[in-house]
């Protein structure tokens, strides 16, 4: 069996694993971790050789874009403070902590390789957390903060990751230039992303009559945004996120309902297949990684992975809890405001909910094979092994504790009433717009006045019903 045939077979199996995960009510990512581990234990599997730069291009832009277009911009603006603190500052702190520990653990970890490992495993994956907490009805602000963190932290980590790889490959690194490139490249990436989003919106306006073409344009958008920014020497990942946020706000108003439904379904399938493929690839890669690490005892590798995992979890708890109140107090003093402090239960839960997922594996597998001198990339196999181990530990060991911790902290107090209130408001607005359209002169001159009269009556009933529901929810 060739590598391609094996991957196609594993994708089919992953669909069955998704059903198992839904039945057992456990995170799909946790099932994939076990699947990848079992795949690695099967002897004689072929090695799938994919160039790291191709791997990065195929996985990272669409996954970032999919998260960005599905995130509501209004809620992002409302929780911008906690999201930036977690997705930017927290990633920087965690990266530095992991780099220091990794550099001290083994001489193979040069400083660039250690920082690459830190950037790879620092960003948590909110998908696993939210899938565990789906049945507990988390407060809306917790969901928003975790989803917003997951959308932006990948971009932060990838920027650090690219700097670390450049330093490892070339052997040269300037902190001053890195900081300047970080901010200039990030700002330019945002500008390019918005520009690409504007152009894509214009294209959607032209092709909106053919939904399948709108789907194709949507699928190609993240690659266009990333490649254009990369060619111009700016941050491609930040450009993709900016394009996604712009597209989420503008494009649904341009395309028709049929295209919107198709695009949403398409991105769900694309994300599912890419996330499944990540763990399939790492399952095929692990035997060769372990073979390259045969000079190191397995106990040493497992010990390093356990220490790094402990550092990742401890640093998040140690940073999130005090920084939340310090930053809130500082901004209250700066604005002379009286914003309430967030509940300690919510802060503690967010600090504990730091599960890692498939995005980290993509970055690990996309590490270059060699550096400029022709030597192997330092500690590449150890980085892949530790990354997989950290994901395994956080998903399989830490993940099942989220629901009990949420119950103990009484976090699951339900966002159901908020969602019902928003639904009532949206349905009332839709009924009022429909009634306004039916009362327009164009409807009055319809050839079927009985149909118009019937629809007016139905929309009045709906408007009264949802207005009453909205008043009840407000009360």
For residue 71, the 8-state DSSP code is S
Tokens of 11: 């994708």
> For residue 439, what are the β-bridge partners?
none
Pick from 34, 51, 40, 32: nearest CA to 6:
40
CB of 372 within 8 A of CB of 169? yes
For residue 256, the 8-state DSSP code is -
Q: In the CATH scheme, what architecture does the domain 3-414 have?
A: Up-down Bundle (1.20)
CB of 372 within 8 A of CB of 167? no
CB of 158 within 8 A of CB of 359? no
The torsion angles phi and psi of 255, rounded to 5 degrees, stand at -80, 165
Q: H or E element: which one contains 199?
A: helix 175-207
Q: Which residues of 346-383 are buried (b: 16+ CB within 10 A; e: fewer)?
A: bbbbbbbbbbbbbbbbbbbbbbbeebeeeeebbbbbbb
Read out DSSP for 373-424?
Answer: TSSBPTTHHHHHHHHHHHHHIIIIIIGGGHHHHHHHHT----SHHHHHHHHH
| Cα-based distances in Å from 47 to 34, 44, 172, 294, 363 | 19, 9, 33, 18, 19
What does the pLDDT profile of the chain (475 residues) look like in tens digits? 566 777 777 788 888 888 887 787 776 777 777 777 777 777 777 767 777 788 888 888 998 898 888 877 777 778 888 888 888 899 999 999 999 999 999 888 999 999 999 999 998 876 666 665 555 567 778 878 888 888 788 888 888 898 899 888 887 777 777 778 778 888 899 999 999 999 999 999 999 888 899 999 999 999 999 999 989 988 888 899 899 989 988 898 888 888 888 998 999 899 888 888 877 777 777 777 777 777 778 888 889 999 999 999 999 999 888 888 888 787 777 777 677 788 888 889 889 988 887 778 888 888 888 888 888 899 888 998 899 889 888 888 887 788 788 888 887 655 455 566 667 777 888 888 878 887 777 666 677 777 777 888 887 888 787 777 766 655 5
The domain limits of the chain are 3-414, 418-474
Nearest-angstrom CA–CA distance, 355 and 130:
10
Nearest-angstrom CA–CA distance, 118 and 387:
10
3-state DSSP: the chain helix, strand, coil percent, rounded to 5? 80, 0, 20
CB of 384 within 8 A of CB of 292? no
For residue 439, the 8-state DSSP code is T
Nearest-angstrom CA–CA distance, 208 and 77:
29
* Length reported for the chain: 475
> 10 Å Cβ neighbour count for 95?
26
The alpha carbon of residue 469 and the mean position of all alpha carbons in its chain are separated, in whole angstroms, by 35
């Amino acid at each position: 069996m060739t590598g391609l045939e094996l991957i196609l077979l594993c994708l089919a199996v992953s669909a069955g694993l998704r059903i198992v995960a839904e039945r057992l009510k456990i995170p799909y990512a946790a099932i994939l971790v076990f699947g990848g581990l079992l795949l690695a234990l099967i002897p004689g599997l072929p090695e799938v050789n994919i160039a790291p730069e191709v791997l990065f291009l195929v996985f990272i832009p669409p996954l970032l874009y999919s998260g960005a277009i599905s995130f509501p911009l209004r809620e992002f603006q409302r929780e911008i403070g906690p999201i930036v603190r977690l997705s930017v500052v927290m990633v920087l702190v965690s990266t530095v902590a992991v780099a220091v520990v990794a550099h001290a653990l083994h001489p193979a970890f040069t400083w660039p390789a250690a920082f690459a490992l830190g950037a790879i495993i620092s960003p948590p994956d909110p998908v696993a957390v939210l899938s565990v907490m789906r049945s507990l009805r988390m407060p809306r602000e917790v969901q928003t903060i975790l989803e917003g963190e997951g959308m932006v932290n990948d971009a932060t980590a990838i920027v650090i990751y690219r700097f670390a790889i450049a330093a490892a490959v070339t052997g040269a690194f300037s902190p001053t230039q890195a900081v300047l490139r970080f901010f200039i490249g990030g700002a330019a990436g945002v500008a390019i992303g918005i520009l690409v989003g504007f152009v894509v919106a214009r294209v959607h306006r032209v092709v909106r009559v053919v939904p399948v073409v709108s789907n194709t344009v949507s699928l190609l958008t993240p690659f266009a945004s990333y490649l254009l920014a990369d060619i111009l020497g700016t941050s491609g990942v930040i450009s993709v996120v900016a394009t996604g946020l712009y597209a989420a706000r503008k494009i649904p108003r341009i395309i028709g309902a049929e295209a919107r439904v198709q695009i949403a379904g398409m991105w769900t399938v694309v994300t599912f297949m890419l996330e499944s493929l990540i763990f399939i690839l790492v399952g095929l890669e692990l035997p060769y990684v372990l073979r390259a690490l045969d000079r190191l005892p397995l106990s040493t590798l497992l010990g390093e992975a356990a220490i790094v995992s402990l550092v990742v979890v401890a640093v998040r708890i140690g940073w999130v809890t005090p920084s939340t109140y310090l930053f809130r107090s500082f901004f209250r003093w700066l604005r002379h405001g009286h914003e309430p402090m967030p509940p300690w239960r919510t802060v503690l839960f967010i600090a504990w909910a730091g599960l890692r997922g498939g995005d980290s594996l993509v970055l690990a597998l996309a590490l270059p094979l060699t550096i400029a001198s022709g030597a192997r990339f330092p500690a590449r196999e150890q980085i892949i092994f530790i990354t997989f181990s950290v994901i395994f530990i956080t998903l399989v060991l830490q993940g099942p504790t989220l629901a009990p911790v949420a119950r103990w902290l009484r976090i699951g107090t339900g966002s159901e009433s908020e969602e019902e209130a928003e639904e009532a408001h949206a349905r009332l607005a839709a009924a009022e717009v429909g009634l306004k359209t039916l009362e327009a002169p164009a409807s009055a001159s319809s050839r079927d006045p009985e149909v118009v009269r019937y629809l007016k009556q139905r929309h009045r009933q709906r408007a009264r019903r949802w207005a009453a529901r909205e008043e009840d929810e407000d009360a």
